Amino acid sequence: MQALKRLEEADAIARLRERDTSLFAQDIDSRIPIGQRLGWTDLASKARGRFPLLSNLASALASEGARDVLLLGMGGSSLAALVLARVCGSAPGMPALHVLDTTSPVAVQRVLHTLQQEHTFVIVASKSGTTIEPLSLYAIVRAWLEERLPRPQAGRHCIVITDPGSPLEKLRQRELMRVTLSSPASVGGRFSALTLFGLAPAALIGIDVEQLVARAITMENACGKVSEQNPAAVLAAWITDAYEAGRDKLTLVTSPGLAAFGLWVEQLVAESLGKDGIGIVPVIEYEPTQPTGYGPDRAVVVLRLDSDEHLATWSRTTAAEHPVFELALADALDIGAEFVRWEYAIALVGFLLGVNPFDEPNVAEAKKATADILAGARAVPAAVADLGGTWVTYAGALSVPSPLPQTRSEALAGWLRSARPGDYCAILAFMPEDDTFLAPLTRAAKTLSSAKGIATTLELGPRYLHSTGQLHKGGPDTGVFMLVTARDRTDIPISGEKYTLAALHRAQAEGDLVTLAAHGRRVMRVDLPSLSAANVASLAEDIRSAAG
């Protein structure tokens, strides 16, 4: 591997362990110096010191009747916990974890309708303490708790995870919330899986965090070895060599039980590497098939359980046509080791590509655009066609066609024609994480990818704004974007705010539309008349038709 030799020549592994900031490119405009983002390199070794705190808190909540833990977070503050809950699951007799990392009123209503205030404990997670999604959700959930619980008791049902001294910590004090669990300020959100952002929710639902961390420590030690024996360095070199050979679509295929891990890897890869016109596009493959339909820009990572012989066979067959890097896990708790392997690997890829993997310079743009739209201070590109109730908008480098399309299928076909060889398509859907909506869109994305040989991703908004959104705007101009929204009437007021949750949800989509357009990206908005299974299924069928 050529990239492995470069790591050796630069002594990159030792320098990373020593937190040598000169290893990475530093943008002079970056708000946070690299030296303040390298605290993750020994998190596993330090995690054992938090076990007594977590054990005591889990026991206390169990004694108070906890049946459900509701995590309010976004991006790096919630994805690791989501992965651990879905991959490992709750221990028998322990609470279930529900993650709300959305501003969809439909999703929020559905979750709250399934829970009982007396038996629900809430985690409000935000590294900065200023993230709009968890703060808005907290206002809603706190009002919901107080429908059945006295204010002091409702406060005892709320736990905060944040950086020391953040505005969220100050809110906790004012609102008489139970406790703050502090995360190291020197660890960025997407590198925080083994901080309390990941470990606290896991412990509260009975996951064996001691064994999880033990696996992580073993990997952490291995990541300090010389390059050929270093699992992270080998992965980093493989990714880089594939990228430099034109295979910049890093496709992740997992065993079914490990599928959620793809969401975490997606953020780590896209947000760390997608900037300065450079970027590796993570593609989660939900339905691996033979033949794959992959183009020559694909490199494939297979993450499977040892027992998954079906995926092992698929991996061997695919390796005849595409580079394949296979990782086999003994069981679900090996995910702890994978957090470490991938964090080290992507940091080393950042060095090899000459980008700072610890900043996210374009993420704030969409946040600012959202705030401006909510305040009425920024205009949104207007729809130019009403196709049977679906409003279509063209923005950025995607010019308005003449004549205008007469059907939605025509509009989708025109959007697809804007893709060039080596591009990728991204369907950006602002809707709940519900298979009723996502399953037909997933199948449509698969059809599009296979029929056209073009990598296609399905991203859920607003989650992707804190993940692949950085790559979309800061990476290379190879994305063709379809923003899917719906004019749904379901809504929830947000205490203390002039806007409602539905207004925030829509403003986040429109903020991304404005920001993508400002970067000259090719983007089309498809605004459905309402959020219904029939409307989404119809759109998915039209995408499949346009793909031919």
Respond yes or no on whether the N-terminal peptide bond of residue 403 is cis (omega within 30° of 0): yes
Q: What is the pLDDT of residues 6-51, one digit of tens each?
A: 999 999 999 999 999 999 987 655 667 887 899 999 999 999 999 9
Phi, psi of 483 (to 5 degrees): -95, 120
- Checking DSSP bridges between strand 281-285 and strand 249-254, what pairing results, if any? parallel
Distance CA 316, CA 307 (A): 15
**pLDDT reading at 233 higher than 70:** yes
Q: What pLDDT does 98 receive? A: 98
Whether 380 and 373 have beta carbons less than 8 Å apart is answered as yes
Number of other residues whose CB lies within 10 A of the CB of residue 10? 14
Task: State both tokens at 206.
Answer: 């009975």
Average pLDDT over residues 124-152: 97
- Checking DSSP bridges between strand 179-182 and strand 120-125, what pairing results, if any? unpaired
Q: What is the pLDDT of residues 140-194, one digit of tens each?
A: 999 999 999 999 999 999 999 999 999 999 999 999 999 999 999 999 999 999 9
CATH class entry, domain 2-35+219-353: alpha beta
Distance CA 317, CA 29 (A): 46
**Residue-wise DSSP of 149-179:** S-HHHHHHTEEEEE-TT-HHHHHHHHHT-SE
Give which of 234, 256, 196 is closest to 47, Cα–Cα.
Answer: 196
Cα 508–chain centre separation: 16
Work out the end-to-end distance of the chain between its first and last CA atoms, rounded to an integer number of angstroms: 39
**pLDDT reading at 479 higher than 60:** yes
Beta-carbon contacts of 370 under 8 Å, excluding residues fewer than 6 positions away, are 132, 504, 507, 508, 510, 511
499 three-state secondary structure: coil
Cα 82–chain centre separation: 10
Task: State both tokens at 407.
Answer: 């059907």
Number of other residues whose CB lies within 10 A of the CB of residue 119? 14
Distance CA 234, CA 62 (A): 43
Q: What is the pLDDT of residues 481-508, one digit of tens each?
A: 999 999 999 999 999 999 999 999 999 9
Q: Is 543 exposed, middle or buried (0-12, 13-18, 19+ CB in 10 A)?
A: buried
Whether 258 and 305 have beta carbons less than 8 Å apart is answered as yes
Q: What pLDDT does 348 receive? A: 98
Mean of the per-residue pLDDT values for the chain? 96
Per-domain boundaries in the chain: 2-35+219-353, 42-207, 363-547
Distance CA 463, CA 482 (A): 16
Indicate whether this model's pTM tops 0.95. Answer: yes
Tell me the pLDDT band of 117, cut-offs 50, 70 and 90. very high
Q: What pLDDT does 30 receive? A: 60
Q: What pLDDT does 124 receive? A: 98
Task: State both tokens at 503.
Answer: 């207004």
- Whether 42-207 shares its CATH topology with 363-547 is answered yes
Task: State both tokens at 481.
Answer: 């974007």
Q: 42-207: what fold?
A: Rossmann fold (3.40.50)
Average pLDDT over residues 120-146: 97
Tell me the pLDDT band of 227, cut-offs 50, 70 and 90. confident
Q: What pLDDT does 29 receive? A: 53
Whether 218 and 337 have beta carbons less than 8 Å apart is answered as yes
Q: What is the pLDDT of residues 318-358, one digit of tens each?
A: 999 999 999 999 999 999 999 999 999 999 999 999 999 99
Q: Is 32 exposed, middle or buried (0-12, 13-18, 19+ CB in 10 A)?
A: middle
CATH class entry, domain 363-547: alpha beta
Q: What pLDDT does 26 receive? A: 73
Phi, psi of 84 (to 5 degrees): -65, -40
Tell me the pLDDT band of 224, cut-offs 50, 70 and 90. very high
- Checking DSSP bridges between strand 390-396 and strand 424-429, what pairing results, if any? unpaired
Whether 423 and 478 have beta carbons less than 8 Å apart is answered as yes
Task: State both tokens at 315.
Answer: 């991996």
Phi, psi of 28 (to 5 degrees): -65, -20
Whether 103 and 508 have beta carbons less than 8 Å apart is answered as yes
**pLDDT reading at 1 higher than 90:** no
Distance CA 226, CA 518 (A): 44
Distance CA 371, CA 360 (A): 18
**pLDDT reading at 513 higher than 70:** yes
Respond yes or no on whether the N-terminal peptide bond of residue 291 is cis (omega within 30° of 0): yes
Q: What pLDDT does 31 receive? A: 63
Distance CA 347, CA 487 (A): 41
**pLDDT reading at 138 higher than 70:** yes
DSSP state of 406: S
Burial annotation 461-472 (CB, 10 A radius, 16+ → b, else e): bbbbbbbbbbbb
Number of other residues whose CB lies within 10 A of the CB of residue 184? 16
Q: What is the pLDDT of residues 352-397, one digit of tens each?
A: 999 999 999 999 899 999 999 999 999 999 999 999 999 999 999 9
